[in-house]
Structure 1
Amino acid sequence: MTDLPIFPDLKGASVFITGGGSGIGAALTEAFLRQGAKVAFVQRSDASAFCDDMQAETGQRPLFVPCDITDVAALRAAVATASAAHGPVTVLVNNAANDKRLATLDVTEEFWDWSMAINLKAYFFAAQAVIPGMQAAGGGSIINFSSISYMMGNGGFPAYTTANSGINGLTRSLARDFGPDRIRVNALAPGWVLTQKQKDLWVTPEALQAHVDRQCLKDTLAPADIAGGVLFLASSASRMMTGQALVIDGGVVVTG
């Protein structure tokens, strides 16, 4: 991982990450561990080997709680488990998402509900679960992952882009409601980050070149490129920043 600044207030912080064992989430888990934070994360697939790797590489072991985030009761229980182990969650990163493509005329009610459950509903209920602990702790930071997809007007996955846009509305409402409790809520919109899943499903030389051509910066994005922005939003370095959307995309949405 690229060397990142150290944010002293993150040492010992109780951090909860959805989807924290693969892709961008794995980079975030590692980044917080290297800050000395106490990290818990959830995902459906087994992440025991990843936890072993993190312990070997960082000297700290994250707490992995198996969980399907669309199961609200299980998600609440996972937050409770993390809080019991590490203290009240003061940094929540709603990272888990699924950008499965399905054209408008092919979307069924079941697919729509499934997409919203993963990409928007779980964000709300994860936030709801951590807010009382943040209130008791005197504050906290919630970081909701969105995407530049809806900003670009991309077609081909309308349920996903709808959820992405909704995340900004949710972010602003929570920021307004819980600012008096010193709970900051911000969104982070990555560009096309070349996770292994993206490489397996969507990346072709032609598509990647076309996307990089739209970027101001001509390097491709890796999961580690997102970590610095998340650490900034989690730390007191951004203590007066809330209700905002931070874009890390190499400059795509600047150039249209």
Structure 2
Amino acid sequence: MIDLPVFPDLEGASVFITGGGSGIGAALTEAFLRQGSRVAFSQRSDASPFCDAMQSLTGNRPLFLRCDVTDSAAMRAAIAEAAEVHGPVRILMNNAANDARHGTLDTTGEDWDRLMDVNLKAYFMTSQAVIPGMRALGGGSIVNMTSISYMMGNAGYPAYVAANSGINGLTRALAREFGADGIRVNALAPGWVMTRKQREMWVTPEALEAHLGRQCLKEPLAPHDIAGGALFLASRASRMMTGQALVIDGGVVTTG
């Protein structure tokens, strides 16, 4: 874990992270636990060993709620349970995603719907579930994890790229609709992060060398490299920032 700044307002904050037990999500869970936040996270597979490890590392145990992010009713129930244990969710990290590779000509309607369910619809439904509680609190922060894939126009997974572009539109729409309630909504766009899944499935020496050639900073991104930006967007340090996309990719794409 890299050294991260401490944001005092995150201590005791009720945080909910989708897909918070592996990959980037696990780094986010750890980072918020180290801030003293009350963290709940969802995941399909059993994350009890991860919770044990986090308690040992941080002295702060997360609340694990096992469910599928595409099951809207189950997610709504999980968010309600998290709110009952930790108080209304003040910070939502929409993180769960599926970047399975798929060719345009081989993608069926069922494939498209399945990928949109996890990569876009779930972001809307979880946001919808936390907004009433955030309104009651007088504000909150929603951070939607997207990707630079749509900025680069990457081939090989068109539904995923389309969903990530949609996440940015959703981010701006929610920011406009709920800004008067003190609810901020921003997107965080990582580059190619070397998670265990990426290394096992898609990282080759040649592919990594080519990607590092596109980066200004010549180091591979690790999951914890994304955590600092997430904490910033969640905290009141970014209190007048909403409807924006923060890119953490080592300098592959340029914005502005």
Asked if TM exceeds 0.5, the reply is yes
Output the amino acid matched with 2:123.
Y
Q: Secondary structure, in 3 states, of the residue corresponding to 2:188?
A: strand
The residue that corresponds to 2:60 in the other structure is: 60
Structure 2 SS opposite 1:253: coil
Deviation at 1:218, TM superposition (A): 0.4
Show the counterpart of 1:27: 27
SS in 2 for 1:61: coil
**1:185 positional shift:** 0.1
**1:206 alignment counterpart:** 206
CA apart distance, 1:199: 0.2
Q: CA deviation at 1:208?
A: 0.2
Aligned equivalent of 2:12: 12
Instruction: Give unpaired runs (5+ residues) of structure 1.
Output: none
User: Cα distance, 1:26 vs. partner?
Assistant: 0.3
User: What's the counterpart of residue 72 of structure 2?
Assistant: 72
Aligned to 1:246: 246
What is the distance in 2 between the residues matched to 1:142 and 1:213?
33
| Alpha-carbon RMSD | 0.7
Distance in 2 between residues matched to 1:86 and 1:37, nearest whole Å: 10
Identity %: 75
CA distance in 2, matches of 1:31, 1:13: 13
Q: Deviations over 1:83-131 (max 9, x none)?
A: 0000000000000000001100000011000000000000000000000
**Structure 2 counterpart of 1:139:** 139
Residue matched to 1:226:
226
The answer to whether the aligner puts 1:194 opposite 2:175 as a matched pair is no
Residue of structure 2 in register with 1:41 after alignment? 41
* 1:128-161 Cα distance to aligned partner (Å, 9 max, x none): 0000000000100000010000100111100000
TM-score relative to the length of structure 1: 0.99
Question: What is the alpha-carbon distance in structure 2 between the residues aligned to residue 227 and residue 156 of structure 1?
Answer: 27
Q: Shift of the alpha carbon at 1:189?
A: 0.4
For 1:254 and 1:34, how far apart are their aligned partners in 2?
31
- Measured against aligned partners, the alpha-carbon deviations of 1:28-65 in whole angstroms (never above 9, x if no partner) come to 00000000000000010100000000001100100000
- Paired AA for residue 112 in structure 2: W
Aligned match of 2:85:
85
Match of residue 109 from structure 1: 109
Would you identify which runs of 4 or more consecutive aligned residues in structure 1 move more than 3 Å?
Answer: none
TM-score, normalised via structure 2 length: 0.99
Q: CA deviation at 1:162?
A: 0.3
Q: Aligned equivalents of 2:219 and 2:207: distance in 1?
A: 14
- Pairwise CA distance, 1:254: 2.7
Which ranges of structure 2 fall in alignment gaps of 5 or more residues? Answer: none
How far the C-alpha of 1:236 sits from its partner, in A, is 0.4
Residues matched between the structures, number: 255
CA distance, structure 1, for counterparts of residue 227 and residue 150 of structure 2: 22
* Matched letter for residue 36 of structure 1: G
C-alpha offsets along residues 185-233 of structure 1, whole Å, 9 cap, x if unaligned?
0000000000000000000000000000000000110000000000000
1:154-165 matches, cutoff 5 A: 154-165=154-165
